[in-house]
């Protein structure tokens, strides 16, 4: 069942009307955007800018100190390329150990292991538990359709 007022000419016209409306909106936005986008600098902005610039200067000074190969008392900062081999050999010689404290582990993994520990504890039969459920509580066996 097709609509009688749905013709290719009406679809073609609707497409161009919508495209024209979109372009008209874009042109209006391009004209109005420069008129409404005038940034206004306030005293709070200037105070914040001076504070941010002071912090940036301090950070850059500290980074320059850390990156420079300077003598700090009796210690000289070695180039990282020379140290990586030694540190890597030390790390490779250390045997990994299991983490025992839960605060250093992923909470999702700790939560997954907790029910497993409870199941282990519940595997041992308690003195108050009954031996086996009655046959009426047991699930019925599926009928074998190959016998028919």
pLDDT digits (tens, 9 = 90+) for 82-136: 788 888 888 888 888 887 777 777 777 777 776 655 655 555 555 555 555 555 5
- Locate tokens 């940034």: which residue? 39
Does the pLDDT of residue 5 top 70, yes or no?
A: yes
**Distance in angstroms (rounded) separating the CA atoms of residues 40 and 31:** 20
Q: How do residues 40-85 score in pLDDT, each as one tens digit?
A: 878 888 888 889 999 999 999 988 877 665 555 556 667 777 788 8
Residue with tokens 């190959």: 146
pLDDT of 147 over the 60 cut: no
Q: What is the pTM of this model?
A: 0.27
Higher local confidence (pLDDT), 31 or 40: 31
- Residue 76 is classified by DSSP as E
Give exposure, 59-80, as e/b (b: 16+ Cβ within 10 Å).
Answer: eeeeeeeeeeeeeeeeeeeeee
| Residue 143 main-chain phi, psi, to 5 deg | -75, 140
Written as one string, the DSSP assignment of 5-18 is: T--HHHHHHHHHHH
Please give the pLDDT value at position 26: 96
- Residues in Cβ contact with 105 at an 8 Å cutoff, skipping those fewer than 6 apart: 99
Which has more pLDDT, 134 or 9? 9
Q: Is the pLDDT of residue 138 over 70?
A: no
């Amino acid at each position: 069942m097709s609509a009688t007022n749905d013709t290719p000419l009406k679809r073609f016209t609707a497409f161009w009307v919508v495209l024209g409306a979109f372009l008209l909106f874009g042109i209006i936005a391009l004209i109005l955007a420069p008129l409404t986008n005038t940034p206004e600098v306030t005293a709070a902005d200037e105070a914040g800018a001076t504070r941010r610039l002071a912090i940036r200067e301090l950070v850059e000074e500290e980074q320059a100190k850390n990156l420079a190969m300077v003598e700090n008392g009796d210690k000289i900062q070695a180039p990282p390329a020379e140290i990586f081999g030694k540190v890597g050999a030390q790390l490779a010689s250390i045997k990994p150990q299991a983490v025992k404290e839960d605060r250093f582990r992923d909470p999702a993994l700790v939560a997954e292991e907790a029910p497993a520990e409870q199941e282990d504890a519940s595997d041992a039969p308690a003195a108050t538990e009954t031996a086996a459920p009655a046959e009426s509580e047991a699930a019925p066996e599926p009928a074998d359709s190959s016998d028919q």
